[in-house]
A and B are shown apart, each in its own frame.
Chain A
Amino acid sequence: MWLLPCVTREGCCLRLPAADRAAALLLDVLLAPAQAETHAAAALSACPGLAIWCLVHAAQSPAGTAQAAFEGLQALARWLAEARYRLNWSDEGGDWHAGGADTTAEARTAFARLASRALAAAARFGEGAGEWTAEEADAGRLLSLVHVAPQWLSAAGLGPDGQWEAWLPLSVAERLTGLHTAQDRVAVHVRHCMGADLPSAGDVHACRWLGEDRTAVKLLPQVAARLRRLAELEARLAQLVEEEKLAALAEFAAGAGHEINNPLAVISGRAQLALRSEGNPERRRELALIHAQALRIHEMIADLMLFARPPLPSFATCQIAEVLQQVRQEVAATAASCGATVEMRPPGDLCIRTDGVQLGVALRAAVENALQAVPPGGHVEVAAAVVEVPADGAVSACPQEGPPGAGRWLKISISDNGPGLAPEVRRHAFDPFYSGRAAGRGLGMGLSKCWRIAQLLGGGIGIASRAGGGTRVTFWLPAEPPQA
């Protein structure tokens, strides 16, 4: 047996135990991301302590991470698989008790008995699996596995008078509270399975709670720490590559823009001069066209150069709801012409210190980009909320749209139900004039402008998309309160 990292809430620290073999299964979760969910389900099924620890951990997670209702074991496995980098399986800080040396023999036996009881109930529930729908079987497996959670939490340090319900996600706590009276098929059968006799000492040994295999237990914290570091480095590398690439493009744009404007000045100037002395109406029209087209190139170049060398932001107190309102008015005509709706979900009366004008320009470009992509009758939603990113939560499950780092951020997401972007196109989503985009979406400078402004305002921007499944552009802005 070994102890999982401590989970703390309101000054109370719980140490939940896990079986030795759970460590090996967790190594599989960490090392095989493609099958992480399958391995997570296996680890949870083999170790009720781990399942309860995950539920407690999920309930403690900061806002914005998993607060999902855990209806069944599969949902918990998904949470464990997704959360694997966030979990503090680190050997630093002394919260790692591979040996479980500070637990008493009585406590170890108590945990072992509880584990055996839970595993026996889960196994018995599984025997009748044929009668159940997939959802019922999944819910029953979780329920039978964690039905001992109140006793378990009390043995882990909560004490007999502790409010165990507060430590679990609401959906699970309610299910356990009502388990003895609920009349649905699953609850009735779980009650029946729970009736199993307490296992004998032999059974306790059989489920290897007191097993001798310590290799995986020792490796787990080291592997977890290294993988977390690797994930951080990968995310940082991807971000650096993107920043370097766009910085190089900006430099190119500034140089090329200047050079191109010289011949443009000659072309348009010559056309204007020729126009003065031209009497033939057809040729006058052609000369005017040359002049106008030269100016059109100039406007594109000006956009590029604005991207390359944007004006410095002017920071002031800014009410986000007002900016969103302004953007809504500005895009109303475009939305109407696309037959699409734009919904704004402002963050109350939140004020932050930023450049409201530039933020408005960026949001408008992002919304217009989304409107170009949605089908007639499509929908674009702009949602803004403040997110606290803890120091160990900075590595996102989805690095393409995660926060730029730890701290307090204003997160503004622009989601659409248009066709998504292929991964190759996504990589170039912020490149000016990238030619490989799906028709309609983001030609020209729109998203490049967004990227540039997000950088200028001290934040970042990400884009997540599935081909065929809509796209979400996420702005992260430092949510600094206005200066007093």
Chain B
Amino acid sequence: MKTVFTTGEAAKICKVSQQTIIRCFDSGQLKGFRVPGSRFRRIPRDQLFNFMRDNGIPTDALESGKRKVLIVDDDEELVELITDVLERDGRFEIRKANNGFDAGMLVKEYRPDLIVLDVMLPDINGREVCQRVRNDSSMDEVKIICISGMVEEEKVQELRNAGANDFLHKPFEVEKLVERICHLLDMEVAASR
């Protein structure tokens, strides 16, 4: 398990900007040390945990050290497939939702790093889920990959306009899905398998 974090890593875990972490570090709110012989800031794991707890930031990402992915699709077999793919990778923590309503609830509670979002949900449309996430500035850092069986380019563009970061057609290459997730989360691609 990782014991010391850079300001950039701490920013991702807390889902705030790196500048915010640096400000809190410099003002003493977030305790840490500078690398001897340089000015680089480093934050020990327990200090980061205290900081998150004191400021009401959910701490589960720090607890597992894994990136959090929320999978939203009404097709349970497909959710299971994507879960298997990401679990085999080993670097992801996964939650699932089968409709837009549950997805909305989980996004707030779970605060995922990334949502894999089916566009055609039984209750609300995937585009609306995108818009709701994007309307909440506390979730600016959440990445969204939409997946859908539709092919119309205009619809895909609408999704991007609504705030989706990426789009994959069903069926897809499972490796491509992992690749796109890693790319959006600034992770190494090679670690998959």
Contacts and interface: CB of A to CB of B under 8 A. Distances in A.
A9 interface: no
A186 to B, nearest CB: 67
A312 interface: yes
Contact of B152 (A263, A265, A311): A311
A302 B170 CA distance: 11
A265 B172 contact: yes
Given A262-B75, A264-B170, A295-B171, A269 B152 contact: no
Interface string B17-49: 000000000000000000000000000000000
Interface residues of A, number: 28
Contact of B120 (A258, A263, A302, A311): A258
Given A266-B78, A269-B81, A298 B171 contact: yes
Contacts of B102: none
A269 B169 CA distance: 13
A273 B85 CA distance: 7
A265 B84 contact: no
B149 interface: yes
Interface centre among B75, B151, B154, B193 (most CB of A within 10 A): B151
Interface in B145-179: 147-154, 169-175
Contacts of A52: none
B172 A305 contact: no
A276 B149 contact: no
Given A261-B170, A272-B173, A273-B84, A302 B151 contact: yes
B186 interface: no
A273 B154 contact: no
Contacts of B78: 262, 265-266, 269
Interface residues of B, number: 25
A267 B171 CA distance: 9
Contacts of A305: 150-152
B77 interface: yes
Given A258-B149, A258-B150, A270-B81, A265 B173 contact: no
A264 B77 CA distance: 11
A241 B170 CA distance: 34
Given A266-B81, A269-B85, A261 B171 contact: yes
A260 B172 CA distance: 13
B145 to A, nearest CB: 14
A294 interface: yes
A269 B171 CA distance: 8
Contacts of A260: 149
B154 A312 contact: yes
Interface of A: 254, 257-270, 272-273, 276, 294-295, 298, 301-302, 305-306, 309, 311-312
